Chain A
Amino acid sequence: GAVVSQHPSRVICKSGTSVKIECRSLDFQATTMFWYRQFPKQSLMLMATSNEGSKATYEQGVEKDKFLINHASLTLSTLTVTSAHPEDSSFYICSAPPRAGQGYTFGSGTRLTVV
């Protein structure tokens, strides 16, 4: 079945630095990728939708300059958390939308801890 590979699975960074999270569709092409964030014991909240070849669409309240999303190719979407702060510590998950006969494909998630 369809697989989305997400890396890194866990990252610890210092406050003020930037962190890049990658999601690759391994056996299919994804023109769109959804990026979610989950705080402890809370729901998965959609942050933005990346679109191959065009600008990402951000949900209300999400800072575009802080969460840079790039969809460089049909198999790679990246989320960069710029100038990270402790409040950005969260679990970030990507998801490819459903295709014919397939459901949503989720990455395994990235646990970001900013110290």
Chain B
Amino acid sequence: DQQVKQNSPSLSVQEGRISILNCDYTNSMFDYFLWYKKYPAEGPTFLISISSIKDKNEDGRFTVFLNKSAKHLSLHIVPSQPGDSAVYFCAARYTGTASKLTFGTGTRLQVML
């Protein structure tokens, strides 16, 4: 039962353009969402998060949008840079689960020169 899904396994974007990574969830109890960047054989690196009481959070080149009614969130990276090439995971948690995170399936982003 995959409660957090990233339906696009891969995405290619030209350098300087916008990258949009999508994430859908099914559990309406989730109240906090995070995005991580991950390289092979390394631990995830935190990028940005959003609480369910907000619909947008911005940090530099990264912006996360949350649509609670659609149970959908997206990560926008603009402008995209070659160093952004990695696998991106969205993750979710809800109060009462001892802070356990449920991860999505991941999207491999490749930013081309």
Chain A interface (Cβ < 8 Å from any Cβ of B): 6, 9-10, 32, 34, 36, 41-46, 49, 91, 93, 95, 97-98, 103-104, 106-109, 111
Contact = CB atoms under 8 A, between A and B. Distances in A.
A43 B62 CA distance: 22
Contacts of A95: 43, 101
A91 B39 CA distance: 12
A32 B98 CA distance: 9
B89 interface: yes
A56 to B, nearest CB: 12
Mostly, the A contact residues are strand
Interface in B80-103: 89, 98-103
A109 B101 contact: no
Interface of B: 2, 4, 9, 34, 41-44, 46, 49, 89, 98-106
Given A103-B46, A106-B43, A108-B43, A46 B89 contact: no
B49 A103 contact: yes
B89 A109 contact: no
Contacts of B41: 9-10, 91, 109, 111
Contact of B99 (A6, A9, A44, A98): A98
8 contacts: A44-B44, A44-B89, A46-B100, A95-B101, A97-B98, A97-B99, A103-B34, A109-B43
A110 B10 CA distance: 25
Given A42-B105, A103-B49, A49 B98 contact: yes
Give the one of B34, B44, B89 with max A CB within 10 A: B44
A91 B4 CA distance: 20
